[in-house]
Amino acid sequence: MKLSNLKRPLLQPSSALEEPESPAAWSRVDRLPEQTLQGQEVIAVTMTCLDRHRVRRKLTTSDGQGFALALPTGMVLQAGMVLSKNSTTAYVVEAAPEAVLVIHPESHVEALRIAYAIGNLHRDVQVDGDTLVVLAEGSMELQLQRLKVAFLREVRPFLGKPAWEH
């Protein structure tokens, strides 16, 4: 099939792409400030696991401040990091609650079997004491069901890596 016969364009014009609500001015963030706070009001910038790995994008905070992130490639924002600050306000990264699968292995052998299966799917696992936490997705649920492993679906912050990053 020729591409010229397509009914719709392959690429949308940039004006058709959704962008966060435009604040009056975007603040460029190309490096993180000193990570100490000195009495500033803290505004949480809530980000999912995937968002904390996307360091080149625009975002708008809950108070309407816009940031154009242009941080170095490979940088990962961690919960608690100061994204930007001035004399009165500090914008701090917060891990957003996400759909996760929570697994309580019954033994070390079962934990190893589960971790092996998670690794084979190239997914990251967050170890929280005796609990394993993974991002909820169909392939992971199916694999755990095949292994006859009990798990719970919960919504909580995930501090591991997204699937594509592993």
132-156: per-residue pLDDT in tens?
Answer: 999 999 999 999 999 999 999 999 9
Q: Check whether 158 has a pLDDT greater than 50.
A: yes
Q: What percent of the chain has pLDDT over 90?
A: 41
Please give the pLDDT value at position 75.
Answer: 86
pLDDT tens per residue, range 63-74: 888 888 888 888
Q: Check whether 24 has a pLDDT greater than 60.
A: no
Order of strands across the sheet with 41-47?
Answer: 41-47, 89-95, 82-85
Phi first, then psi: give them for residue 155, nearest 5 degrees: -120, 115
pLDDT band, residue 113 (cuts 50/70/90): very high
Q: Check whether 166 has a pLDDT greater than 60.
A: no
In 18-106, at which residue ranges do the beta strands (DSSP E only) sit? 26-29, 41-47, 56-60, 66-70, 82-85, 89-95, 97-103
Domains and CATH numbers, the chain: 23-95 (2.60.260.20), 97-165 (3.30.70.790)
- In terms of phi and psi (left: phi > 0; alpha: psi -120 to 50; beta: otherwise), the region of 13 is beta
**Most confident range, picked from 22-26, 77-81, 145-149:** 145-149
User: Which tokens is 160 given?
Assistant: 């591991």
Please give the pLDDT value at position 142.
Answer: 95
Mean pLDDT over the full length of the chain: 82
pLDDT band, residue 101 (cuts 50/70/90): very high
pLDDT band, residue 9 (cuts 50/70/90): very low
Query: Region 12-29: what's the mean pLDDT?
Result: 55
